[in-house]
Amino acid sequence: MSNSIIQVNNISKQYHIGSKERINRTFREAVVDTLTAPVRNFRDLKRLTKVEYDRPDTIWAIRDVSFNVHPGEVVGIIGRNGAGKSTILKILSRITGPTTGEAKLLGRVSSLLEVGTGFHSELTGRENIYLNGAILGMRKAEITAKFDEIVDFAGIDKFLDTPVKRYSSGMYVRLAFAVAAHLESEILLVDEVLAVGDAAFQRKCLGKMQDISSREGRTILFVSHNMPSVRKFCHRGILFENGRIHLDDEVNKVVDHYLDSGSATFSSRTWSPDERPGNAFFRINSIILKNKHGMETSAITISDELLVDINFEVLQDEAKPQYSLILSDADGNCIFGSLNNYEHEHYGKPLRPGIYTSTCRIYGSLLNAGRFFVTLIGFNNNWHDEFKIENAISFHAHDDGVIKGDYPGSYGGPIRPLLKWQTKRHDIT
């Protein structure tokens, strides 16, 4: 289309996933293997940057993706992990090239794939504003012109000359977002960066982005797992599945389709060692939803209890992990929150380094049928060092008819607790 600001034509991207580890059974094998390894390694490394079709150790992260975006449009890109959302953003922001296909972007592009890229912990807030701005493509004069606005938005004016390593994580994120939000560009590519920071700040960021979009008419591509903000924020949704575009339509239709397809439920989340969320005291390895039999599941029945297992590793002595588990419905409305400060045995007592599992039991006959999301907020000792894992897991709750009894209709609201009813006869005396 002639009046599109972003034109993507048949873009594909192939990645090498690396060859299998070799396992040596005997000493002799190990010696021979070590000696011949250089030749083999060199061959493998050389191949890394070659395009090869139909090799077992290559995957297509995205395949034949085409779409056009009009100026001023705000497009939400959704899909499961590994569906290719981030890859398309990386290609459009020129971090990596496509294997085949091409794209045209008519305007200055700024991408925000991570908050605070290039921040240096030893440098002060002021120095980092300039460094980060320059990394994101701003000229020194531009940064100077927007400096006060950035500081004001981040609300860190008192700490401007303090090294950012002394900042709280909230201040750090605020400053980083503030720099990125003040980039002058026609196209903004954003990847799940709003998952950080507290709720008030997230609202502020979304507000700023709305401002950017509606007042300045900027085009935004927004990758997110947070369906409510995608609904709120975008006009159009593009659903990725296995590297291809599955649906490209009005945002509510796409989000509904994604949620209904069930492909959006993830009964567990496991993090690799260097990606684990957490703070300096402990890190989350995994969050797993289990049914009453202790089996991992993403579909539970509403009359049975369900368990949320939080597996974490304590890194330092004196860690006192505290959790807040928040259950929300498909539209992102909070239904309830639960804190672990009722667990008298361990709560408030320091844990030694090691691996632990905390389990939260959500009793049966409480929820209504529908989709639910679990958000976990972690703290350490007196509710400090907060981190948030938004919509860590999600599940479907099915009606098994136990509570319903003989009632044929459906129930409203997100919960359907089993309450006691009693009828008394008042005898006339």
* Residues in region 45-84 near another protein by CB under 8 A: 45, 48-49, 70-74
DSSP summary character for residue 409: S
Place of tokens 């709120």: 232
Candidates 19, 210, 298, 359; binder of another protein (CB under 8 A) is 210
Nearer to another protein, 19 or 268 (CB): 19
Candidates 19, 117, 242, 324; binder of another protein (CB under 8 A) is 117
Candidates 127, 248, 305, 399; binder of another protein (CB under 8 A) is 127
Stretch that binds another protein, among 89-97, 273-281, 346-354, 417-425 (CB under 8 A): 89-97
State which of positions 139-168 bind another protein (CB under 8 A). 139-140
Give the burial class of 225: count Cβ atoms within 10 A of its Cβ; 0-12 exposed, 13-18 middle, 19 or more buried.
buried
Residue 286, H or E segment: strand 282-290
Nearer to another protein, 51 or 295 (CB): 51
Could you give the C-alpha distances from 259 to 225, 265, 298, 410, in angstroms and in order? 11, 8, 13, 20
Nearer to another protein, 332 or 353 (CB): 332
DSSP summary character for residue 351: B
What tokens appear for 229 in the block? Answer: 């903000």
Least distance to another protein, CB of residue 428, Å: 25
Q: Which residues, in sequence order, are bridge partners of residue 89?
A: none
Sign for the CA dihedral angle at 211, 216, 217, 219 comes to negative
Candidates 29, 52, 114, 317; binder of another protein (CB under 8 A) is 114
State the helix-helix crossing angle for 140-154 and 125-135, rounded to 10 degrees. Answer: 130
Candidates 63, 80, 146, 218; binder of another protein (CB under 8 A) is 218
What tokens appear for 286 in the block? Answer: 């995994």
Is position 96 an interface residue for another protein (rule: CB under 8 A)?
Answer: yes
Strands 74-79 and 219-223 come out as parallel
Least distance to another protein, CB of residue 74, Å: 5
Is position 120 an interface residue for another protein (rule: CB under 8 A)?
Answer: yes
What tokens appear for 273 in the block? Answer: 């060692």
Is position 409 an interface residue for another protein (rule: CB under 8 A)?
Answer: yes
- Rounded Cα gap, residues 385 and 392, in angstroms: 19
Least distance to another protein, CB of residue 192, Å: 12
Of 403, 306, 415, the C-alpha closest to 368 is 415
Nearer to another protein, 173 or 287 (CB): 173
State the helix-helix crossing angle for 140-154 and 169-181, rounded to 10 degrees. Answer: 140
Nearer to another protein, 195 or 351 (CB): 195
State which of positions 219-278 bind another protein (CB under 8 A). 219, 228, 231-235
Is position 418 an interface residue for another protein (rule: CB under 8 A)?
Answer: no
Least distance to another protein, CB of residue 221, Å: 13
Nearer to another protein, 335 or 339 (CB): 335
Q: How far is CA 99 from the centre of its chain?
A: 26
